[in-house]
Amino acid sequence: MKQYVIEPERQTEIALSCDVLVAGAGIAGMAAAIAAARNGARVILLEREYGLGGMATLGLVTIYLPLCDGQGEQLVFGLGEELLKLSIAHGAEAAYPKAWLENGTLEERIQNRYITQFNPHLFALRAEQVMTALGITILYGSTAVGVVRDGSKIGAVIIENKSGRTAIAVRSVIDCTGDADVCHLSGAQTVLHSKGNGLANWYYYFSEGKVSLKMFGLADIAPSQKRVPAGGGSGVVPKDTAMVESLDKGTRFSGVDGFELSRVVLAGHAKMYEDILKHREADPEYVPTQASAIPLVRMSRRLAGAYTMDESENKKHMADSIGMTGDWRKRGPAFELPFGTLYCREVPNLLAAGRDISVTDDMWDITRVIPPCAVTGQAAGTAASMSDDFPSLDVAALQKKLTDQGARLHGNW
């Protein structure tokens, strides 16, 4: 039988206010905050960790997956491309996309997808400078723990950090938590991924005079070259899909259970320690230099929005498209991402971006990675700068703004 305590009623101070609150500072949150600020909104970016980039930097998943369709055509522009260039402003760790950044031929672009590998620290620090220059208020070590509704809309978001429990008054909210936390707290309908997540724990190591990335466990590697042995790679991004297995085939986790996440992190650390010791037997100089600081959650909980997109909608025209993406796993597919995947009708001033958008399980594996996260983040930030009632937003006006900002909305099919 469960036991309970009764918490006393309390009065929570409104410590801050903003036009747009972005919850989660991964790639989607970064893009959303930048887009909203550039379009004139007062923005607060909420992040539970103490650095920008989420899985891409703190998780060490430092592969900027393709901006192209694998057939030589670029699909992702705007902030999706801007952030790629920002990630390698001080040089690529591997896979510098020369064919795309230095006017390569069509044949060279077909052979080499628009992909790169970046240094997580330099990317996060450079992005932080960009955001502070835009006047974005970044609140590190802060987590959304509650929502206060004003009718159907969110009037304030309750946060907790080292200062305690306070509230932020908002005009609109963009959920970029990766786990649809604000959507869930607000009462919007959400859906859990049916298969859960496998175990992975990426890390950097020093060996043979250099530091390399070990893609330890499930690895997202873009198409088209040789396979990678289970458990990792050399730090150079292979061109072919290598679906590396989970570190433990018996482990599946939802990503939204705090107790479960602690067990998963412990299991990942144990596997990593075992792997390091194994390598040190052959090479005493083999030492880890950095391990992923957050659980490598890929698909957990997402919004059930006004429209739910499926993988079968390859090259389908979407009248309300807010950007495009390819399929990182294979060549050919191209998708127009509809605005209807970003909002729901029951909470009209709430948007989702990145891993939180409304897609089927099959489509989720396509839209959870960096390029579509940046695309949906840019769209959400731009929309939030325009309105606090997204079901009635003038989508044509939003599309014009996005086009003016460099986004590509439709394919030539």
Tell whether 409 is covered by a domain: no
410: left (phi over 0), alpha (psi -120 to 50) or beta: beta
pLDDT of residue 244: 64
Q: How many domains does the chain have?
A: 2
Tell whether 2 is covered by a domain: no
Burial 316-347, CB ≥16 within 10 A → b, else e? eebebbbbbbbbbbebebbbbbbbbbbbbeeb
Tell whether 6 is covered by a domain: no
Q: Is 112 found in the same domain as 235?
A: no
- Give φ, ψ of 5 to 5 degrees: -120, 155
pLDDT of residue 413: 84
Give Cα 14 distance to the centre of its chain.
29
pLDDT of residue 68: 98
Q: Is 255 found in the same domain as 191?
A: no
pLDDT of residue 214: 94
Q: Is 258 found in the same domain as 308?
A: no
What is the H or E stretch that residue 352 is in? strand 350-352
Q: Is 98 found in the same domain as 188?
A: yes
Q: What is the CA radius of gyration of the chain?
A: 21
pLDDT of residue 228: 39
Tell whether 391 is covered by a domain: yes
Domain containing 117 equals 14-195+300-404
Domain boundary, last residue among 264, 291, 318: 291
Domain boundary, last residue among 222, 256, 291: 291
What type of residue is 333?
P
Structure tokens at 17: 């206010």
Q: Where are the beta strands (DSSP E) in 24-126?
A: 43-46, 63-64, 116-117
Tell whether 249 is covered by a domain: yes
Tell whether 3 is covered by a domain: no
Q: Is 161 found in the same domain as 144?
A: yes
Structure tokens at 328: 């990182």
Structure tokens at 75: 């699909």
Q: Is 72 found in the same domain as 191?
A: yes
Q: Is 208 found in the same domain as 126?
A: no
Q: Is 214 found in the same domain as 174?
A: no
Q: Is 112 found in the same domain as 21?
A: yes
DSSP string for residues in 227-269: ---TT---SS--SS---PPPS-TT--B-S--HHHHHHHHHHHH
Measured between alpha carbons, how far is 280 from 140 in angstroms, rounded to an integer?
A: 36
Tell whether 287 is covered by a domain: yes
Q: Taking Cα atoms as reference points, which of 363, 295, 308, 293 lies closest to residue 341?
A: 308
Tell whether 128 is covered by a domain: yes
**Strand duo 14-23 + 164-175: pairing:** parallel
pLDDT of residue 220: 58
Q: Assign residue 183 the CATH number of its domain.
A: 3.50.50.60
pLDDT of residue 239: 44
pLDDT of residue 221: 53
Q: Is 346 found in the same domain as 395?
A: yes
**Residues 31, 37, 40: CA angle, nearest 5 degrees:** 145
Q: Is 209 found in the same domain as 275?
A: yes
Contact 239, 222 (CB under 8 A): yes
**Residues 221, 381, 162: CA angle, nearest 5 degrees:** 85
**Residue-level pLDDT, tens digit, the chain, 413 residues:** 889 999 889 999 999 999 999 999 999 999 999 999 999 999 999 999 999 999 999 999 999 999 999 999 999 999 999 999 999 999 999 999 999 999 999 999 999 999 999 999 999 999 999 999 999 999 999 999 999 999 999 999 999 999 999 999 999 999 999 999 999 999 999 999 999 999 999 999 999 999 999 999 976 554 443 343 334 444 444 444 445 678 988 889 999 999 999 999 999 999 999 999 999 999 999 999 999 999 999 999 999 999 999 999 999 999 999 999 999 999 999 999 999 999 999 999 999 999 999 999 999 999 999 999 999 999 999 999 999 999 999 999 999 999 999 999 999 98
- Give φ, ψ of 159 to 5 degrees: -125, 160
Q: Is 54 found in the same domain as 162?
A: yes
Q: Taking Cα atoms as reference points, which of 20, 23, 54 lies closest to residue 37?
A: 20
Domain boundary, last residue among 263, 291, 319: 291
